[in-house]
Amino acid sequence: MTGITTTSEKRLIVASGRAHPDLAHEIVDVLGVDLVPMDAYDFANGEIYVRFGESVRGCDAFVIQSHTTPINHWLMEQLIMVDALKRASAKRITVIAPFYPYARQDKKHRGREPISGRLVSDLYRTAGAHRLMAVDLHTAQIQGFFDGPVDHLWALPLLAEHVRKRVDRARLTVVSPDAGRVRVADLWSDRLGAPLAIIHKRRDPSVPNMVKVHEVVGQVAGRTCLLVDDMIDTGGTIVAAAEALRENGADDVLVAATHAVLSGPAVDRLKNSLISEVIVTNTLPIDPERSFPQLTVLSIAPMIARAIREVFDDGSVTSLFDGNA
């Protein structure tokens, strides 16, 4: 079957873009439904065509897309899918963007810059989305960009449970890789009952994506250190932080991050680093050639499926995380 129908004829459908079909299939398997059939392809000039293979009139539609490379292509495909659902008379449309596109462009640092994260929210709304669901937004203020309900899901419970089984918490120190992630690291510290350390770093403005670490604030000598962040992009910050922790006497260094962007040299950097395990979720696809021995990938699908069920049943998405984060 392709949807769930209640006695009041309320109907749920899940549609997926082409960026990360494995995640979408995991989600619908948990929900016990099928993905709505859809034709999607690219014209020779790069334009995207989408058409749903069955009626969606009056349905509660959830549109999943993981914004991996090429991010602009997959964003456009999701917008077109939302527009198609709106024009086919879907009753409510929820955009699911596990990795929210342009999240790092959430404010102006200098004059004449865009706020691209806000632009993306406006595009979703204009296309016809009524609701937005995302996992671990880069900054909380992005929730205010969208003119409608936003469900902000947290991967912390999933990741922390893995860490809890992996390490001796009596010897664990949670580490923020920079001052900007202290609030997230503090949540981890509370969750695991571990002390907090902070790495003070400064970027070299003349070399993009290069970081020079200055000092470690907190007790890390002789301890297992857990570096936490929302994403790993090129890996420069995390690898430099791990080196600083080792130089300050850490016995072991692990990394936990929600989004494995893994751009450019990231895989080589992490594979050849002093990090014993890199724990991430599957919000983004990780091709086999980008895997490496220290990488552990946990599935975010059950959490997204539960959130979809709560939204569809007019329940509470917040209740999924009460007492967890």
Structure token digits, residue 261:
């962007």
What is the 8-class DSSP label of residue 182? H
**pLDDT given at position 200:** 85
Confidence (pLDDT) at 202? 61
Give the H/E segment covering residue 159. Answer: helix 156-166
Does residue 325 fall inside a structural domain?
no
| 93: in domain | yes
Instruction: Say yes or no: 261 and 188 in one domain.
Output: yes
Question: Which residues, in sequence order, are bridge partners of residue 41?
Answer: 49
Q: Specify the pTM.
A: 0.92
**33 plus 137 within the same structural domain:** yes
Choosing from 165, 201, 212, 271, the catalytic residue is: 201
Note if 201 is an active site residue. yes
Total domains, the chain: 2
In this structure, the answer to whether residues 34 and 73 fall within a common structural domain is: yes
Residues 288 and 232 in one domain: yes
The dihedral sign for the CA sequence 211, 217, 221, 223 = negative
> Residue 154: how many CA atoms within 13 Å on its side-chain side?
18
92-97: strand order across its sheet: 4-5, 11-16, 60-64, 92-97, 131-135, 150-153
* 148/254 same-domain check: no
Whether 294 and 308 map to the same domain: the answer is no
| CATH number, position 198 | 3.40.50.2020
Within-domain flag for 208:
yes
CB 258 within 8 A of CB 282: no
In terms of domains, do 191 and 286 share one? yes
Q: Is residue 8 located within the same domain as residue 148?
A: yes
CB contact set of 248 (below 8 Å; sequence gap of 6+): 216, 220, 221
Q: Is residue 284 part of a domain?
A: yes
* Domain range for 272: 156-298
On whether the CB atoms of residues 236 and 261 are closer than 8 A, the answer is no
Same domain, 215 and 90: no
> What pLDDT, on a 0 to 100 scale, did the predictor assign at position 323?
57
One domain for residues 124 and 186:
no
Please report where in the chains the tokens 């419970």 appear, as a residue.
Answer: 157
Q: Is residue 73 part of a domain?
A: yes
CA atoms of 47 and 38, how far apart (whole Å): 16
How many degrees, rounded to 5, is the angle at CA 30 between CA 23 and CA 51?
55
Mean pLDDT by runs of 10 across the 325 residues of the chain is: 59 98 98 98 98 98 98 98 98 98 95 97 98 96 96 97 96 93 94 95 61 80 98 95 96 98 97 98 96 98 98 93 62
Q: Is residue 64 part of a domain?
A: yes
Residues 16 and 147 in one domain: yes
> Is the residue at 106 inside a domain?
yes
265 and 310 co-located in one domain? no
**Six-digit token pair at 38?**
């859809």
pLDDT at 325: 44
